[in-house]
């Protein structure tokens, strides 16, 4: 019985380089989205924010890919649903620029909540009605 627990624990561990990549992407994502949000808040012309906007998209896409690689259930777990909603709200800024500050504030709050939820909630599957790892 103990041996099975050890095997299961070993399978769930991410390699060191995957963890390092996730930290690097998350750090870049937080920094770039902070610049985009600050630029929107202080009405900086979007043309000056384009590199930061592109970095936010690239790092966010990398985090999504890592999430999907970690679990095939990611898209319908709460962590995936929140990330998809996060991306959708971010995309709405292009269609409703007059609400960019409010939308980006919602993106910021949703991202922070999604990243800091307990794992039992983050891994909750909307399809299975229970935690799925």
- List the one residue out of 37, 18, 16, 36 whose CA is nearest residue 26: 18
At 3, is the pLDDT very low, low, confident or very high (cuts 50, 70, 90)? very low
Asked whether residue 46 is assigned to any structural domain, the reply reads: yes
Identify the three-state secondary structure at position 23: helix
Residue 119 counted as domain residue? yes
List alpha helices for the chain, DSSP H. Answer: 2-12, 16-41, 46-70, 78-95, 100-116, 119-122
| 60 contacts 87 by C-beta, under 8 angstroms | yes
**What integer pLDDT is reported at residue 115 of this predicted model?**
84
Task: State how many domains the chain has.
Answer: 1
Q: How many CB atoms lie within 10 A of CB 129?
A: 8
76-91 confidence digits (pLDDT tens)? 999 999 999 999 998 8
- At residue 7 the predicted structure's pLDDT band, cuts being 50, 70 and 90, is very low
Mean of all residue pLDDT scores within the chain: 88
Tokens, residue 41: 């808040």
SS3 call for 124: strand
Q: At what angle do helices 100-116 and 16-41 cross, to 10 degrees?
A: 150
**Cα–Cα distance, 109 to 101 (Å, whole number):** 12
DSSP state of 62: H
Residue 109 covered by a domain: yes
In a domain, 89, yes or no: yes
Task: State the pLDDT confidence band at 50, using cuts at 50, 70 and 90.
Answer: very high
Task: Output the pTM of the full model.
Answer: 0.81
* Structure confidence at residue 133 as a pLDDT band (50, 70, 90): confident
| Contacts of 12 by beta carbon, 8 Å cutoff, 6+ apart | 133
Mean pLDDT of 100-110: 92
Q: For 116-125, what is the mean pLDDT?
A: 91
| Terminal alpha carbon distance of the chain | 19
Please check whether residue 85 lies inside any domain of the structure: yes
> What per-residue confidence (pLDDT) applies to 9?
52
Residues spanned by the domain of 21: 16-131
Position 127 in a domain: yes
121 within domain boundaries: yes
């Amino acid at each position: 019985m103990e041996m099975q627990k050890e095997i299961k624990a070993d399978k769930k561990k991410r390699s060191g380089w995957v963890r390092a990549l996730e930290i690097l992407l998350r750090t870049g994502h937080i920094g770039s989205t902070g610049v985009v949000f600050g630029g929107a808040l202080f009405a900086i012309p979007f043309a000056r924010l384009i590199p930061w906007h592109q970095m936010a998209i690239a790092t966010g896409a990398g985090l999504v890919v890592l999430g999907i690689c970690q679990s095939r259930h990611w898209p319908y777990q709460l962590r995936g649903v929140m990330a998809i909603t996060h991306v959708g709200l971010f995309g709405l800024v292009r269609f409703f620029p007059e609400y960019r500050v409010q939308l980006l504030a919602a993106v910021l709050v949703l991202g922070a909540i999604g990243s800091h939820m307990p794992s039992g909630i983050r891994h909750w599957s909307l399809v299975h009605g229970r935690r799925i790892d």
